[in-house]
Structure formats: C-alpha cells, structure tokens
Amino acid sequence: MKKRVVIIGGGVIGCSIAWRLAREGAAVTVLERGRLGREASWASAGMIAPQAEAQAAGPFFQLCLRARDTFEAALEMLRADTDVDPEYDRAGILYLALNDQERSELQQAGQWQTNAGGTVEELSVPAALKLEPAISPQAVYALHLPLERRVENRRLTLAYASAAIGKGAVLVEGVAAKQVLVHQNTIGVTANDGRTFDADVVINAAGAWSNGIQGISDPFECYPVRGQIVCFDARPGQLRASLFSPRGYLVPRRDGRILAGSTMEEAGFDKTVTLSGLTKITRAAFEMAPQLSDLPFREAWAGLRPATRDFLPVLGSSPSLPSLFYAIGHFRSGILLSAITGEIVTDLIQARTPTIDLGPFSPTRFIEPPKTSVLAFIRDILFRSRVDAAAQSSGKEVAYASDLEQGLRRCGELQPATILIDLSDAAFPAGEAAAKIRTAVPNARLIGFASHVDLKAMDAARKAGFELTLSRNEFTSRLGELLTL
C-alpha cells in the first residue's frame, strides 16, 4: 500500500520533499495555509552559496557543500518532471573586502574554506574589476567563489510544486494545519476547515511557524528572523556575478532585476519594511557597487527566516512521536538546502540510511540530559553551604526546602530522586514528612541525619521507612557519595 504522507507547509522545503516522496510513489498531501511558496521562500535572494554564507568549518559547512552538488543533480531530475524553469545560473560570487579589516577576515575565510574542501580563488583588485566592472574602486581585496550559484527562488518553489503534482501529490492552498493527532497506530492532521487528514507519516515543514501547531510537544523552538530586500531595475546582464561583502549582497536576476540584501532582525512575525532596513541595505549596495547608483528603485519586501537556537536545521523524526518528522530551521540557507532536505527526509521515511551523519541536525540534540535532582529539607544555612560545596564537586544540583509545605511543593515540581532531611530540626518531623513525601514522590530515596545524641529522631525515621539514617558527622563525611547515589 502507498505510504500516506501529510506535509505541513508549502514553502521550498515542503514542496521539495513532496516532489521527492511522490516520485517514489508515496501518496503525498501538502497543506499550505496561504499560497505555495509565498513566505520566506518567496522573499529569499536565491543564492546557492555554501561558501559565501559560511561562518566556520564543521558539519554544517560540509552539509552545505554537499547540498550544492545535490542541488545541481536534483535540477537535472526536476527538468525531466516539470516545464517550470527555475533560472539556475552558474555565475559564481565575488566576495569583496572594502577595508583592511575585511581583507584580513576574508583571507582567513579563504584559508579555512580551502582546507575544508571549498573552492576559492584569490583575486587582485584589477582581476576582480575585470570579472565585474561594477565593483567599487575602493575594494582592497576579493575572493572569487566560482562554484557558487543562484536560482530564481520563487520559480524554484513552483518547479518543485509542479513536479510534485505531476507525480500525483495533492497540494492544498488556503488550508492551515491546526493540530497533529495520534490515535493508536495512525497519525493525522486536523485543519482549520474542520477536515482531518489521516496519514502514516506527518512532516512539519511550516518554517518560522512550525511551533504554532498543536499536539506537538518537542522541546525546541523555531522562530522568525526578519530579512529585508530592496529590488532595483537594471538591464539584463548589467551585473554578472553576484556580489557579497560583510555589509550585504547584490544578486542579479535574468530579467535584469538586482536584489540587494539584507537585514537580520528579531521582530516577531512582522514583515514590515523599515527605514533602517532600507538605509542599511542601500548603503551597503552603494558601497559595493557605486556604479549602480542610478538604478531605479522597483520594490522592497521582507520575509521571515526560520531559525533555531543553534541556527542549524532540524531534520529527523520527533523524539516524542516517531511518525512525525521535522524539516525546519533552514534559516539563511533553505534554498540551497532544499534539494538535499528532500533527499534526506525521503530516505528517512523510506527507512534508508541517509548518506550524511544527521547527528548535528537531529531533533534530539535539544533534549537536555536529566539532572540528578536532590532536594534537601535543611534550614541551617551553614550546613547548606557544605552540601552545596560537595554538590559542586560532584557536578550535581541541590534544591532546598525551608518548611515541610514548601518542600512538598518542590517535590511535585522537581520529582527528586534523593531527599535529604535534617531530622534534628523540629520543622521536619520524620513520620509526617515521610508519609507526605511518599505521596508526592513515591520512588524518592529518603536519607535522614541527626545529631548522634538525637536517638529519638533517628528511631522515628527508621520506623517511617527512611532508606538511610545517619549521624550528622557520618552524613557530612559521606556527602559526595550520597549525592551521586
């Protein structure tokens, strides 16, 4: 039987996955609350630029280099499956330094990128000017990144969508996923129009909005980072290479438009174009290519990049719901990563091992290992500091309670594995404390201590079922061991 897959979100990521899965015979439905590809995937500049965008060597850089090759290969397949031309151009990127500090940063970037498998050509300023006469005469240094590419991202999303439809996928516009539902062995999505879409697998590809779907309780967030773009009219071919610098970038389109970008702003879900955004972008454009200063302004827009806490994508199945998959958090590189994401997610859903290590991009990376929690019913501040010192050297955390009631509340919140009780303190009568604590945390280990002459308290604790009762001295000397039990 065909695998039924519901994809939430019809951006470049959702549409790429839909195409790859439909190609392999899955019954795919994409739910898009607005129009296909009209959010971040529409606002993008469309650079296929693993090197220009890179911050450091590491698994993400390697993923992006692989993504560039996968993208090229996917376009071949896409051409066979749709007539929509995504206007892929192999023109490369010219990365400019306009002062000495930028030059030294760029030289370092060129070095590490070459060592990490990137392709970099150092250019003298005359050589750079020959490659692209529009660049600023203030340029002091340039790197040519000849393998960087660009694509008309709006057409790319439509190409994926049209190819997916050609392979039998159903793409529904104007329908928002409200909730992911699980009943026994099946999973489904309820929509704002009252319909339920049953599936074997659900994929969350809702970009910056992916946390807004109910019924999902995984411990990470994807949030919007606004990027503004200013668009100018030029003659087709007036700018040949895309230009990049630490200040911004200029990306030409085949029809002559030149896109200048961008900003990185945390402004919630607000897609407003602002005076400060326009100022920053136009100043950067002017500094990189003053020869273009007469270009007429055409339009400006903003979009919301989907970001995670570590700015890496989240690719893989949900830690809490194995039939739910994530393909979110592509941040500044979702166009570049679209084809490889389609390939990876399809591999995972078809139970094939992906060809890259997904560890750094796994949804499980956000799950914090549980801390050993110890709750101490101790009021003596000096004694608390002794416990804290021992806890610190054992790498543990201890919470304290100053009375029985507060302690019981903290038992409920923390569910501690170990509870330490100062039995010499009348605030913590052994019998009553044990009975109440057992109700709140039935499996906690109760360890009581008292002065060696306080035999009554020790005896009461033993009768109340404490796992361990110790004299104060013995307790102090064994603290390290007791905290790591």
Please give the single-letter amino acid code of residue 237.
Answer: G
Concatenating the DSSP letter of every residue in 124-163 gives: -HHHHHHH-TTS-TT--EEEEETT-EE--HHHHHHHHHHH
Residue with Cβ nearer ligand FAD (47 or 374): 47
Among 6, 12, 74, 378, binds ligand FAD (CB under 6 A): 12
- φ and ψ at residue 245, rounded to 5 degrees: -155, 170
Residue with Cβ nearer ligand FAD (136 or 333): 333
Question: Using CB under 6 A as the criterion, what x/- string covers residues 128-167 for binding ligand FAD?
Answer: ----------------------------------------
Pairing of β 258-261 and β 248-252: antiparallel
- Interface region with ligand FAD, contact rule CB under 6 A, candidates 109-117, 140-148, 332-340, 460-468: 332-340
- Decide if residue 466 touches ligand FAD (CB under 6 A): no
Among 334, 342, 407, 416, binds ligand FAD (CB under 6 A): 334
Residue with Cβ nearer ligand FAD (11 or 188): 11
Question: Using CB under 6 A as the criterion, what x/- string covers residues 259-298 for binding ligand FAD?
Answer: --xx------------------------------------
Residue with Cβ nearer ligand FAD (9 or 407): 9
Among 5, 6, 13, 292, binds ligand FAD (CB under 6 A): 13
> Which residues inside 41-60 make contact with ligand FAD, applying CB under 6 A?
41, 43-47
> Which residues inside 76-95 make contact with ligand FAD, applying CB under 6 A?
none
Name the burial class of residue 399, with classes exposed (0-12), middle (13-18) and buried (19+) by CB atoms within 10 angstroms of its CB.
middle
- Decide if residue 306 touches ligand FAD (CB under 6 A): yes
Distance of CA 229 to the CA centre of its chain: 22
Kindly state the tokens that stand for 237: 């071919």
Among 5, 8, 289, 398, binds ligand FAD (CB under 6 A): 8
Q: What distances in angstroms separate CA 203 from CA 92, 130, 198, 314, one per listed residue? A: 33, 47, 12, 12
Q: Which residues contact 401 (CB under 8 A, 6 or more apart)?
A: 375, 376, 377, 407, 410
- φ and ψ at residue 113, rounded to 5 degrees: -65, -40
For the bound state, the minimum distance from the C-beta of residue 348 to ligand FAD, rounded and expressed in Å, comes to 17
For the bound state, the minimum distance from the C-beta of residue 377 to ligand FAD, rounded and expressed in Å, comes to 47
User: Which residues on adjacent β-strands are paired with residue 462?
Assistant: none
Report yes or no: 469 and 461 within 8 Å, Cβ to Cβ.
yes
- Interface region with ligand FAD, contact rule CB under 6 A, candidates 28-36, 233-241, 318-326, 476-484: 28-36
- Decide if residue 416 touches ligand FAD (CB under 6 A): no
Residue with Cβ nearer ligand FAD (326 or 400): 326
Cα 81 to Cα 75: distance, rounded to the nearest angstrom: 10
- Decide if residue 10 touches ligand FAD (CB under 6 A): yes
Residue with Cβ nearer ligand FAD (7 or 143): 7
User: What letter does residue 419 receive in the DSSP assignment?
Assistant: E
Cα 203 to Cα 473: distance, rounded to the nearest angstrom: 58
Among 4, 20, 33, 155, binds ligand FAD (CB under 6 A): 33
Residue with Cβ nearer ligand FAD (54 or 391): 54
For the bound state, the minimum distance from the C-beta of residue 189 to ligand FAD, rounded and expressed in Å, comes to 8
Cα 331 to Cα 210: distance, rounded to the nearest angstrom: 13
Angle between helices 12-23 and 153-166 (to 10 degrees): 30
For the bound state, the minimum distance from the C-beta of residue 330 to ligand FAD, rounded and expressed in Å, comes to 4
Number of residues that bind ligand FAD (CB under 6 A): 43
Question: Using CB under 6 A as the criterion, what x/- string covers residues 193-232 for binding ligand FAD?
Answer: ------------xxxxx--xx-------------x-x---
Q: How many CB atoms lie within 10 A of CB 98?
A: 20
Residue with Cβ nearer ligand FAD (358 or 419): 358
Pairing of β 141-145 and β 93-97: antiparallel
For the bound state, the minimum distance from the C-beta of residue 409 to ligand FAD, rounded and expressed in Å, comes to 37
- Decide if residue 469 touches ligand FAD (CB under 6 A): no
Report yes or no: 65 and 145 within 8 Å, Cβ to Cβ.
no
Cα 448 to Cα 378: distance, rounded to the nearest angstrom: 10
Tokens 């773009």 belong to 229
User: What letter does residue 269 receive in the DSSP assignment?
Assistant: B
User: Residue 234: which of 190, 284, 289 has the closest Cα?
Assistant: 289
Residue ranges in contact with ligand FAD by CB under 6 A: 8-14, 31-34, 38-41, 43-47, 176-177, 205-209, 212-213, 227, 229, 261-262, 303, 305-306, 330-336
